Amino acid sequence: MNFTEKLAKISLKNRSLLCVGLDPDPALMPEKIGVFEFNKAIIDATADFVCAYKPNIAFYEAMGHEAVEALHETISYVPKEIPTIIDAKRGDIGNTAKAYARSLFDRFNADAITASPYLGYDSLEPFIERRDRGVFILCRTSNPGAADFQSLPVGEDKKLLYEVVAEKVNEWNKHGNLGLVVGATYPEELKLIRQRYPEILLLIPGVGAQGGELEQVVKYGTDKGRRRTVINSSRQIIFASRGKDFADAAAKAARELRDRINAFWR
């Protein structure tokens, strides 16, 4: 079963488009808890309400070897039916791109990853060619500086750069395993992308802490028939409480957000 099928299956079973971002931050976690222990409790508490988990590898790398080991453990611990997306935003050339594909897909065993488009097709090919895995390519990100390059008008017909990226990724999507990252903070852009490419996978970060309006995100970012949209929330779920009840609070936050998404999804 490939990534797209795995995602659709668990999304249907859990009635959920919600992805929980596993981005540990010792300053926001309960005291005296290890990274894996924290993630394990969050996974146990939320596994019935999600369609995917998305650890951002930067947080683990910043904490050093033990945290990177905890990421391995975390991915092994996630129930087999729930896909994991390592948010790595990698992009490099030739042999180096192959090395990243080995690292993320084989060593970490991620079902999907995020990648950066700037270096073009051959930098993405080692990921794309892993047909059973998913690849979400940065398109329109949710940060203030996104407009610096992504919103530049390009070429004769003045499409914006992010639109050209979406167009190219759609062309490259021969195996049906590609997706786009489009931030929740840009609902109009989300609408345009989803209308043009109803079949492509979409990963939408920026709901919650980053302020994306949920109703618009759901209406514009989903499609009716397919479960190919993943709406990510990290801090709002995993740091819902810093007390001993953090896992229960995460479960409650995940269930509520899942249900709010479903209420908007028609």
Residues forming the active site: 89
Report in angstroms how near the CB of residue 68 gets to its own copies at its nearest.
7
Of 103 and 170, which has the nearer Cβ to its own copies? 103
Which one, 16 or 233, has the nearer CB to its own copies? 233
Q: Single out the residue of 168, 175, 191, 219 in contact with its own copies (rule: CB under 8 A).
A: 168
Phi then psi dihedrals of residue 229, to 5 deg: -120, 135
Burial grade of 149 (CB within 10 A; 0-12, 13-18, 19 or more): exposed
Please report whether residue 189 would count as binding its own copies according to CB under 8 A: no
Q: Nearest CA to 207 among 192, 196, 218, 198? A: 218
Query: DSSP characters for 120-142?
Result: -HHHHHHHHT-TTSEEEEEEE-S
Closest separation between CB of residue 186 and its own copies, Å? 13
Q: Which of 5, 93, 196, 259 binds its own copies (CB under 8 A)?
A: 93
For its own copies, the closer of residues 183 and 221 by Cβ is 183
Q: By the 8 A CB rule, do 84 and 115 touch?
A: no
Q: Dihedrals φ, ψ of 193, to 5°?
A: -65, -45
- Distance in Å, CB of 82 to its own copies, minimum: 22
107 is a contact residue toward its own copies (CB under 8 A) = yes
Judge whether 20 and 234 are in contact, CB under 8 Å: yes
Which residues, 6+ apart, have CB-to-CB distance to 239 below 8 Å?
25, 28, 29, 246
- The interface mask with its own copies, positions 199-228, x = CB under 8 A, is ------------------------------
Smallest separation (angstroms) from its own copies to the CB of 72: 9
Q: For its own copies, which stretch binds (CB under 8 A), given 35-43, 46-54, 85-93, 255-263?
A: 85-93
State yes or no: residue 136 binds its own copies (CB under 8 A): no
CB count, 10 Å around CB of 223? 16
Selection from 209, 232, 210, 237 nearest residue 221 by Cα: 232
Give the binding site for its own copies (CB under 8 A).
23, 25, 56, 58-59, 61-62, 64-65, 68-69, 87, 89-97, 99-100, 102-103, 107, 116-125, 138, 141-150, 152-155, 161, 164-165, 168
